[in-house]
Chain A
Amino acid sequence: MKRLSPTRLGFAVFAVALLLYPLVFTNPFFLDIGVTFLLAAISASAWNIVGGYAGQISVGHSMFFGLGAYAPLLFYQWLGWPPMAGIPIGIAASVVLAIIIGMPTFRLTGHYFSMATIAVAELIRIFTGTWDFVGAAIGLQGPATARGWWDLTFRGETPYYYIFLGVLAVLLFITHTIERRRFGYYLRAIKARERAARSLGVPVLQIKMKALMLSATFTSLAGSLYAIKTGFIDPESGFGILVSVQMVIIAALGGAGTLFGPLLGALILIPLQSATNTWFGGGGSGLTYILYGGIIVLIARFEPGGLFELWHRVVAKYRSRRHAA
C-alpha cells in the first residue's frame, strides 16, 4: 500500500477533525471559535489567490468583504427579501470594483496596487459611515427571527459551521485546481519575476485581473456569510482596516502562496485572538493592533515564507536523515 506523506496525512487528520469538531465541542464558546476560524480561513484563502500566489499585495480587501456583507442586509432592510438574495449582487459589485482598481494599477510597476486598495477601502468606509441609505455609522441589521430556512437565521452555531466548512472546501478545491493548471504556474511566475514571465508569453495583466476577480468573489462571499451569521454590519466591521490586515496576517503567518497556509494561520491566530479578548475584555481592544504588529515583525524577521515553509523544511530534513540512515 502506498504510504501517505506527512503533509497529506496531516491534512487528512485535520479534515476529519474539522468535520467532527461541532460534535465534540458542543459548548457555544468553542463553536463560535470554530465558526470564526472558518470565516477567517475563507477570507485569507480568498486573499491568498491574488496576494499569495500572484504576489499582488492588497491591503484593502475589506472593500470586497464589506460589499459582500452590506448587500444581503440591504436586500433585507429595503426589500424584505431573504438576505442570501443579496449575495450575487455583493459578488457582482466586488468584481466590478476589482476591475476598476486592477485595470489601471496592474499596468504599473511598484506598489500602486497596494496603495490603491488601501485608499479605496478607506474611502468606502468613510463614505458608508455617512450614507443613511446603508445605515450610516449605525449600520444594518438582519432578521431577528427566521421567517423560513431561506433567511439562514439559525439559533445555534452548528448549521453556520457546516455551511462555512462547505464554502471553504469549495474554495480550497478551486485553489488546488488552479495550482495544477497553467493559470497557477503563471501566477507563481508573475510573483517571482514579472518581466521574465512576460518574456515567456505570460499575459500578465489578464492573469492578474483574473486572480483579483476570483479573489474578490470569495472575499465578498465571506463578507456575506459574516453578515448573515451575525445579523449585523457597520462600516468598521465591514470595511475597517483590521478586516484587511487580518487576511494578510493570517495568510502570511501560515504561508502565503500555499494551499493550506491560510488555514494554518487562522488556526493559530483566531484562538489567540479569542484568548486575548477573554483575558482582557473590552479594556484590551487595542491589543489586537499590538498582536498583529508583533506577528508581522516575527514573520518578517524569522520566517518570511510562513509556518508552512518551516514545516516543509522540517519534513525535508527528516527525510534526508532517514535517507542517510
Chain B
Amino acid sequence: MLLEARDVSKSFGSFRAVSGANLTIEEGEIVGLIGPNGAGKSTFFNCLAGDMPVTTGQIIFDGRDITRASPEAHARIGIGRTFQLPATFEDMSVLDNVMVGAFLRHPHRDDAREHARKIIELTGLTAHASNWARSLGTPGRKRLEIARVLASQPRLMLLDESLAGLTPAELRDAIGLVKRIHEMGITLVIVEHIMEVIMTLTRRVLVFNQGHVIASGKPEDVVKDPAVIDAYLGHGDVPRRG
C-alpha cells in the first residue's frame, strides 16, 4: 500500500469539512475524488498534501506516518500536487518554473535544466520554454503545473482539477498526458468535476458529500449509486460532459 488515510477529519471552528474519511491507494493506481461543490474533497485533498493539518486521524505514506509532515517534507518523500487555481511562478520563464521542481532531486543547475527540458518536452511545452509563465493561458498554466510537479519526480501525484476549464480538444490532450504520466509508474489521485475524466482515467472513485465519503468503487457503479445521484442533483443523473 502506498498511501492510507485513516479516519481523517478536518474542522474549521465548529464546521466539520471532512468527517472520518478513509482511503487506501495501492502503488500504480489512479483514484478519483468527486463530489458537489463544498463536499469536502478539496479539504481532504489538502490534508493528503500536507497543506492543512488534520484535526483527527492519521495519514501513512509507504509505511511512514506523515500526518504532521510539512508540504516540503511531502515533496521530499515523493508526494507532488497541483492547485485548483494554477499557482505558477508568473515572473519566471516556463523553463525556470520547471527547474524549481527539478532542483529537488538535481541540486546542480545544469542537471536540473537538463531534467527540466526533458519534462517540458514530455508535457508538450517546448515551444513555450523561454516564455514567461504569465504569458500562458489557463490550459498552458495547468500543463506547466503538472510539468513542475513531474520534474520533482514524485511517486504519488495529487491533481486538483488540473483538467477543468479545457476545451474538448485540450481535454483529450490532457487526458493523454495523464495516461503517459501513469505509464511512467506514478500513482495518481485526481479531484475532478468532469465525469469524462473520471470515467476515462480512474478505476476507483470516492464520492464526497457534506464532509463524508458517501460511496466508493468502480466509476461505472458509483454513478448509478442513488446516494451519489441524490448528492449531485437531488433526483436524476450525474452530470456528464458531452
Contact = CB atoms under 8 A, between A and B. Distances in A.
A210 to B, nearest CB: 15
A199 B75 contact: yes
A103 to B, nearest CB: 16
A204 B71 CA distance: 10
B96 interface: yes
Contacts of B87: 193, 195-196
A321 to B, nearest CB: 19
Contact of B100 (A195, A200, A203): A200
B89 to A, nearest CB: 4
B74 A182 contact: no
Interface stretch (A36-44, A183-191, A221-229, A269-277): A183-191
A181 interface: yes
Contacts of A195: 51, 71, 83, 87
Interface in B13-39: none
A182 B92 contact: no
A199 B80 contact: yes
A289 to B, nearest CB: 31
B62 interface: no
Given A185-B99, A192-B90, A196-B87, A201 B72 contact: yes
Contacts of A189: 89, 92, 100
Q: Is the interface of A mostly helix, strand, loop or mixed?
A: helix
Q: Range of interface residues on chain A?
A: 10 to 19
B71 A185 contact: no
Given A188-B89, A189-B92, A197 B100 contact: yes
B91 A201 contact: no
Contacts of B149: 199-200
A176 interface: no
A85 B221 CA distance: 78
B47 to A, nearest CB: 14
Contacts of B112: 182
B101 interface: yes
Interface in A39-74: none
B101 A182 contact: no
Given A199-B75, A200-B100, A192 B152 contact: no
Interface residues of B, number: 30
Given A182-B107, A192-B89, A192-B91, A201 B51 contact: no
Contacts of B89: 188-189, 192-193, 196-197
B81 interface: yes
Contacts of A181: 109
Nearest to B107: A182
B162 to A, nearest CB: 13
Contacts of A251: none
A196 B133 CA distance: 14
Contacts of A203: 72
Nearest to B133: A192
Contacts of B108: 182
A185 B51 contact: no
B212 interface: no
B186 interface: no
Interface string A148-182: 00000000000000000000000000000000111
Interface in A189-246: 189, 192-193, 195-204
B74 A199 contact: yes
Contacts of B75: 198-201
Contact of A185 (B83, B91, B96): B96
A197 B81 CA distance: 11
Nearest to B49: A199
B232 interface: no
B152 A201 contact: yes
Contacts of B71: 195, 198-199
A201 B108 CA distance: 15
Interface in B62-116: 70-72, 74-76, 80-81, 83, 87-92, 96, 99-101, 103-104, 107-109, 112
A201 B112 CA distance: 14
A192 B70 CA distance: 19
B51 A186 contact: no
Contacts of B88: 192-193, 196
Given A188-B89, A198-B75, A199-B51, 18 more contacts: A180-B109, A185-B103, A192-B88, A192-B89, A192-B92, A196-B87, A197-B100, A198-B71, A199-B71, A199-B74, A199-B81, A199-B83, A200-B80, A200-B100, A200-B149, A201-B104, A201-B152, A202-B72
28 contacts: A182-B103, A185-B99, A185-B100, A188-B96, A189-B89, A189-B92, A189-B100, A192-B89, A192-B90, A192-B91, A193-B87, A193-B88, A195-B71, A195-B83, A197-B100, A198-B72, A199-B51, A199-B71, A199-B74, A199-B80, A199-B83, A200-B75, A200-B104, A200-B148, A200-B149, A201-B104, A202-B72, A202-B100
